[in-house]
Structure formats: C-alpha cells, structure tokens
Amino acid sequence: MKLDFRVLKEPGVLEKSSSYLFTPLPTAEKLYFYITQIGHYYCTHAYSIRRDYFSPVLILCVRAGCLRVDYRGGSYRLLAGDAMLVDCREPHYYYSDMDGLEFYYLHFEGSNAHEICQHILAHQGPLVEKQRAAALGEFLKKTLQFYDEGKTETEFDESLRVYEIFRYLHSGTGTDAAAASYIDVITGYINDHIDQRITLEELADAVSLSSFHFSRRFKRDTGYSPVEYANRKKLDYAKTLLIRTEWSITEIAEKTGFSFKGFIKLFTNAEGCSPRTWRNQHRVRTADPDGPVLPSQSQGVDTTHH
C-alpha cells in the first residue's frame, strides 16, 4: 500500500482540510478489502461533488454544518452526527449550500465490497442508524489519527479495518447488534476520560440521549447501570496499573479519577480485599531482585488493556 498525504485544492475545500490517498498492492486488490482514500474536510458553500460513476464505496460522516446528498431518488440533509453509505457506481451528488461544513469521508473497495454495500442498502437504506453513526464517526476519526501519526499496517489489518466499518453499517436483526454500537461509543468515552470523574449526564450526552432513557436502555442491554459500567472499566485499568507499575495506591486512584477513600471503598467492595492486598496476591518477582515485577501466572489474572 502506498500512502500519499495531500491538502487538496478543491473548490469549496478550506486549506486546513486533509486527505490520504492509497494505492493498493495487487494482493490486496485480489484478496482483501482496502481503503483508497480518507479525509477530513472543512468546506464553504462552494463545495460540491457530482458523479455518474465512481468505483469505490463511500462513507460520509458529518461533524458540523449541513451536507446535502441526492442519491437513489432521495434528497438527504445530513447534520452533525449523521452518516451515510453510498455506492458510487450509482449517480450521486453531495454538496454544501452554506459555510461551516465539516465531515469525514472514506472510500474503499475490494473483495465483495459492492455486494455487501448493495445488501445493506437494500435492507436498511443509505442512512446509518443514529447511534451507529456516532460510533462510525469516532472510528473514522481514530483511523485518520492513525495515518496522521505516520503509522502503516499490513494488507490484512487494513482489510480488518474495513470489516469493522461494515460492522458499524450493518444493524443486524436483533437488539444485540444495535446495542453494541452505542456501547462501543460509551466504552470509548470512558477510555478517553479514564482519569476523570464520569457522570451519568456526560455518558448520556456522548450518545445523544436523555439521562433517563439512556440509563434504562443501558441497564437493559448490559445488566449494569452506566456508572457501574464505567467503574468496572476503571477498576480493570487500576488492576493493570497495580500489576505493571510501581505507582502508589494514591497515584492509581488519581489515574482512574477517584478520591483515595472512594477508590479504596470501591475496590474493596468489588474484589473483597484492599488494592494493596490484591497487588501483593497477584504479583511475583523475577529471580533477579532488581528485575521487573511480573504478573502471576498462577492467579489467572487478565492483564488485557481496556
């Protein structure tokens, strides 16, 4: 895969916009899904794209302003938080009729990408369900950050990235798939704010729901209240820090957004012992007294990062 960073000189596209273009290797074209272009655009009212045919599949995720899309006989008005799927082999027209538009976009191809796209369009239409659209927008943001940092990945990993996009696009047939979408958003928010106090209102805002409806839905889908879920994630992170660092209990409490007393109480209630006792039970030392502290294999500790 060849990566080329460009600030595109397109009508209506502001200079702070960016785009990455990719040239797939023959193996990727034959066997995998692959990304051909991804970008983050800031646009004026002069921005417009009209095509009768363009090979890749397109994802649009609006961050601010309004993006108008004419596609499959419908006229759509995408606002902040909205997302849309377009098979560019069909006629399409998207444009801004006012300043202040900001959006992410991604083109991809490969394998049976168009067949899957057509299946989704036939069963769900081009608009992405609201909660899934929020998760998809965050995914595109993180994907762009990945390339901003100059990172590269294998053809297989890039193909998995497109599979992940399909997971966000496909609503499934039951409540489990729909639930997974907004739970992903919540988990991402918790991970991004792991060192802060997280409130019910903040979590509800992250998925654009009222606190009342969000709390009821989250409890139904996970078995935990939102705050209980956030605390579980924080405790998982605290356990990792207890095993893998020499930080004091006070420092770990701060790193997970708790007061010292609050952390001790929550941890003890959840684990049946204090953090210090848990640390001593779940760590072993190497034969070298000056060597690193390692997680105990006999305890069956899950040291996966969350």
3-state SS of 17-41? CEEEEEECCHHHHHHCEEEEEEEEE
Strand partners, 212: none
306 within a domain of the structure (yes/no): no
Residue found by looking up tokens 């302003």 in the block: 65
One digit per residue, the tens of pLDDT, for the chain of length 306 reads: 444 445 457 899 999 999 999 888 888 888 999 999 999 999 999 999 999 999 999 999 999 999 999 999 999 999 999 999 999 999 999 999 899 999 999 999 998 999 999 989 988 899 998 888 999 999 999 999 998 888 888 899 999 999 999 988 875 544 444 555 788 889 889 999 999 999 999 999 998 889 999 999 888 878 889 999 999 999 999 999 998 899 999 999 999 999 999 999 999 999 999 999 999 988 754 334 444 444 443 333 333 333
Q: What is the pLDDT of residue 290?
A: 46
Q: What is the pLDDT of residue 129?
A: 87
CA dihedral 24, 25, 30, 31 (to 10 degrees): -90
80 within a domain of the structure (yes/no): yes
Question: Do 37 and 110 lie in a common domain?
Answer: yes
Question: Do 34 and 139 lie in a common domain?
Answer: yes
Question: Tell me, what CATH number does 275's domain have?
Answer: 1.10.10.60
| Residues whose CB falls within 8 Å of the CB of residue 13, separated by 6 or more in sequence, listed in order | 41, 42, 43, 47
Question: Do 229 and 101 lie in a common domain?
Answer: no
294 within a domain of the structure (yes/no): no
Question: Do 165 and 192 lie in a common domain?
Answer: no
Question: Tell me, what CATH number does 33's domain have?
Answer: 2.60.120.280
Q: What is the pLDDT of residue 178?
A: 52
Q: What is the count of structural domains for the chain?
A: 2
Question: Do 202 and 164 lie in a common domain?
Answer: no
Cα–Cα distances (Å) from 107 to 19, 22, 97, 200, in that order, read: 11, 10, 23, 36
Question: Do 130 and 29 lie in a common domain?
Answer: yes
Phi/psi for 4 (5° steps) reads -135, 120
Domain that holds residue 123: 18-169
Question: Do 113 and 254 lie in a common domain?
Answer: no
- Rounded Cα gap, residues 228 and 238, in angstroms: 15
Question: Do 127 and 189 lie in a common domain?
Answer: no
Question: Do 129 and 249 lie in a common domain?
Answer: no
CA dihedral 159, 163, 164, 170 (to 10 degrees): 160
33 within a domain of the structure (yes/no): yes
Question: Do 164 and 206 lie in a common domain?
Answer: no
Q: What is the pLDDT of residue 284?
A: 53
229 within a domain of the structure (yes/no): yes
Question: Do 164 and 229 lie in a common domain?
Answer: no
Strand partners, 85: 59
Q: Which of 117, 148, 169 is the last residue of a domain?
A: 169
Question: Do 188 and 164 lie in a common domain?
Answer: no
- Rounded Cα gap, residues 193 and 195, in angstroms: 5
Q: What is the pLDDT of residue 297?
A: 37
39 within a domain of the structure (yes/no): yes
Closest CA to 108 of 37, 214, 191, 54: 37
Tokens of 107: 């083109």
Q: Which of 116, 135, 169 is the last residue of a domain?
A: 169
Residue found by looking up tokens 């899950």 in the block: 302
Q: At what angle do helices 211-222 and 226-244 cross, to 10 degrees?
A: 60
303 within a domain of the structure (yes/no): no
